[in-house]
Structure 1
Amino acid sequence: MYTTHGLLFEVDRDGDNFFMELKAIGKLTHQDYEQITPLIDDALEGVANPKVNVYFDGSEFEGWELQAAWDDLKLGLKHGKKFHRIAIYGNQRWMDIVAKIGSWFISGEVKCFDTPFDALAWLREE
């Protein structure tokens, strides 16, 4: 059986303000983070005080392999102070876990939403 997994990533920048959209598919692996981490690092490189809002679509997320969970932790420790808001939509089983763990390592707010519309609306507030 073939299992699809991966992270889709898109970033928009306006000055020091960033909007990142991530979609997790399947069970994430170390290789997924080897691909996505340099993209996030490059996007934020050279920006002294970035304000990053993230929309995380976990509707097809099924968890992490052990090494991928460690990679996710390292990414949060490296960039956690740069995140302003993270809106999580998707798989209810994982949403609360991701939000709770994420809130330990980022300085901004993390909230879970039942619809993508509500998640995106919250990110656009202010």
Structure 2
Amino acid sequence: MIEIDLSDPDIVTLRPKGRLSEEDFDNLAKTIDARIHETDKVPNLVIRVDSLPHWDSVGALARHFHFVQVHQKVVRKVAIVGDSPLLAFAPEIADHFVAARIRRFPAAKLAEAQSWARAETDDPGHFEEIDGFPGDVIALRAVGVITGDDYRDTLVPLIEERLRTHEKLKCLIVLGEEYATYTGDAAWADMRLGLSHWNTFTRVALVTDIGWVAKASRLFSPVIPLEIEVFGLNALDEARSWITR
């Protein structure tokens, strides 16, 4: 089934659950089209994915594709909200096939996802440098929606600048309340950065209360040739002490 919330005048919030049928997508299409005719405005969509749903038939899959094919031409923005790692690259892949701008947000950032969907612009975020660290420590706070451009325009030049005066670097990243999400191209940029600078960093401190991010960092840390520690947001001072040793 697909729960449809029409309470917000600017967006429609969807919550797919369990087995999705042909009737679910027919009802969704009729509801969205009726909303457009009533308001003379195409709503942006927020899709809450608490657990990955599935189609109950090939016909349901075909109806889903038809809905996307028709409505992606008019819907400008789609926010996908959920913590499944399988959603990480969904926006990057979908961007190649649909006209709508798609962003993925953690489950705890539903309000931020709704705000982004209401906004006229894409409203990308940025990396904000944190003062008070030694020159060999790159300390950054992620704000808003982090994109591949933030890596290219901010992080990579900062690393190259610091490497002129330091042979090895350390990094502290804070994903706090100001952070909303990262895009698929940001994930690719992060991967490329790791490959090109695999021996540049000796330590990385990740400061966040986002559960799946912390778990993923701990999962991959044994196969990464540097020290990685994860700290909660209330342990920023501890992270600062650890990264500056």
TM over 0.5: yes
Q: How big is the shift at 1:23?
A: 0.9
3-state DSSP class of the match of 2:198?
A: helix
Identity over the aligned pairs, expressed in percent? 25
> 1:8 aligned to 2:128?
yes
Check whether the contact 1:83–1:106 (CA below 8 A) recurs between aligned residues.
no
CA distance in 1, matches of 2:129, 2:142: 9
Counterpart among 55, 58, 68 of residue 172 in structure 2 = 55
CA distance in 2, matches of 1:22, 1:93: 19
Question: In structure 1, what residue type is equivalent to 2:241?
Answer: A
Give runs of aligned pairs for residues 1-126 of structure 1, distance below 5 A. Answer: 1=119, 3=123, 5-9=125-129, 12-13=134-135, 18-36=136-154, 37-45=156-164, 50-59=167-176, 60-93=178-211, 95-96=213-214, 99-100=217-218, 103=221, 106-114=224-232, 115-125=235-245
CA distance in 2, matches of 1:97, 1:62: 18
Is 106-115 or 90-99 further displaced after alignment?
90-99
Check whether the contact 1:51–1:83 (CA below 8 A) recurs between aligned residues.
yes
Count of aligned positions: 119
- Over aligned residue pairs, what C-alpha RMSD do you find? 2.7
Is 53-62 or 68-77 further displaced after alignment?
53-62
Identify, as 1 or 2, the structure richer in strand: 1
Change (3 A) 1:74 1:110: same
Runs of 4 or more, structure 1, over 4 Å off, are: none
CA distance in 1, matches of 2:141, 2:152: 16
Change (3 A) 1:20 1:67: same
Larger Rg over CA atoms: 2
Q: How big is the shift at 1:34?
A: 1.9
**Greater relative contact order (CA < 8 Å, ≥ 6 in sequence):** 1
Question: In structure 2, what residue type is equivalent to 1:43?
Answer: R
Structure 1 gaps, min length 5: none
